[in-house]
Structure formats: C-alpha cells, structure tokens
Amino acid sequence: VTLGGELQLAGSRATSERLFLRALMIDARNSAALIGRAAIFERAGEWVQAVEMLEKLLVIDPSNAEARLRLGVCLRRLSRTSAARKALEAVTADLTSTWIRAIAWQELALAAVDRGDLGDAIRILQQGVTSVPDDLHLPVLLASTLDRQGRHRDARLAIRAVLARLAEAAPSARFQYSEWPSGDLAAARERLTARFPAAMAALDAALRQGVEP
C-alpha cells in the first residue's frame, strides 16, 4: 500500500489504484488503501464510489476526520444534503486539524448559499472564523456573502481585515485538501518501519537454518 501511495503522489492513477485494490483483497480493513482509492474516485468525479470507500473506512475508524470530511464533500456533490451536513458538522468539532475544520465550515456555508439561505451562510462563516481564526478563506467567503446580502460596508470591513493579514497567511486549507491523503499512508510506513528489525531477524534466522548441514 505504501508503494501505491508513492505512485499516487507521482500521478500514476491507474497503477496506484490497482495496488490499493490488491491491498484491499489481502486486507479489506486497510485504511490507507481505502482512503487512497476514495481520493482517486473523488478526483475523477466518481462520487458514488468515493462515498462507498469512505463509508467502509469510517466503519473501521470512526475518528478519521479527513475521511469524514471527504465523505461530507462527496455527499454534497451528490446532492445528499442532509447526510452531507451531518458529516461536515461532525468534523467542525474535531480539534486534530485546523485545515480539516476550515474546509468543513466552508462547505457548510457554500451549501447554505446554494439553497439561497445567505443568513445561515453568514452565521456559519462567522462560527468558522471564530473556530479557525488562521484560515483566510473563511473571512473572504464571509465578505462575499455579506456583499451578496447587500451589506456592502460589512463586506468591505471583512476584506480589509483579510488584507491586513496576508503576510501571515497559513497554507491554504483548500490546497491541503487537494493534496493526496497522506496520514494513513504515513501510519502504514511507521508500522512497516517498526516491524522491519524483527522481520530481518526472522529472515536471517531462516537463512541460517537453511544453510546448516
């Protein structure tokens, strides 16, 4: 599965997908392979297949915040608004990653805009700005939504606040979301590294036994 992750990072979708599928044939609970395949499906716009992978992963690891975020995003793309909102709202309470929370707030606000509820979108964005103060995309969305609601002065104030903080901007949450998932792959690499000494010792013992007269 780690090779599949490396090939995924290199842009070899077909080969990485085959390796992830092979890993799942060996171990259907392989979280790195599940989220790896889900990300491939998501990038290809194959939302149904992505949701299937992510739901399987969340049965195995309910605390996987990135998987739940990606599930919420894919469900929203499928217009399954109630399920999407439930998944995204759950992620906003997660304290392990600020970029994951930022995307969840953004998606919730965009869903409110899509249904024409600008007031709810503004409320969500204000909560998001408080929850993830380092994210600059949230106040930009807030300014845009305020402007659409006709609150032009408030929108200008929000934009000025963003401009004053551009020099200290953290990496974009959207950029991090667009990257291939790496957390589960990193955990898989750590497990392999931890097992390596014992595996080498067992191999050495087997070889020694094989050459004895």
- Cα dihedral 53→58→64→67 (10° resolution): 30
Of the CA atoms within 13 Å of residue 203, those in its CB half-sphere come to: 6
The model carries a pTM of 0.76
Q: Please, which pLDDT band fits residue 201 given cuts at 50, 70 and 90?
A: low
Residue 52 CA to residue 42 CA, distance in Å, equals 11
**Per residue in 149-186, pLDDT tens?**
999 999 999 999 888 887 776 678 888 888 878 655 55
Encoding tokens for residue 3? 């090779």
Residue 194 CA to residue 10 CA, distance in Å, equals 25
8 Å CB contact between 53 and 35 = yes
Q: Please, which pLDDT band fits residue 79 given cuts at 50, 70 and 90?
A: very high
Sketch out the chain's domains with CATH numbers: 97-181 (1.25.40.10)
Render 129-171 in DSSP notation, one character per residue.
Answer: HHH-TT-SHHHHHHHHHHHHTT-HHHHHHHHHHHHTTGGGPPP
Q: Of 70, 69, 81, give the one whose Cα is nearest residue 43.
A: 70
8 Å CB contact between 152 and 136 = no
Cα 191 to the chain's mean position, in Å? 22
53 backbone dihedrals φ, ψ, rounded to 5° = -65, -45
Identity of residue 122: I
Residue 70 CA to residue 177 CA, distance in Å, equals 9
**Per residue in 119-149, pLDDT tens?**
999 999 999 999 999 899 999 999 999 999 9
- Helices 65-77 and 31-43, axial angle in degrees (round to 10): 30
Q: Which residue has the tokens 């104030």?
A: 157
Q: Which pLDDT score is estimated for 12?
A: 56
Distances (CA, A) of 207 to 2, 204, 213: 27, 5, 12
8 Å CB contact between 35 and 57 = yes
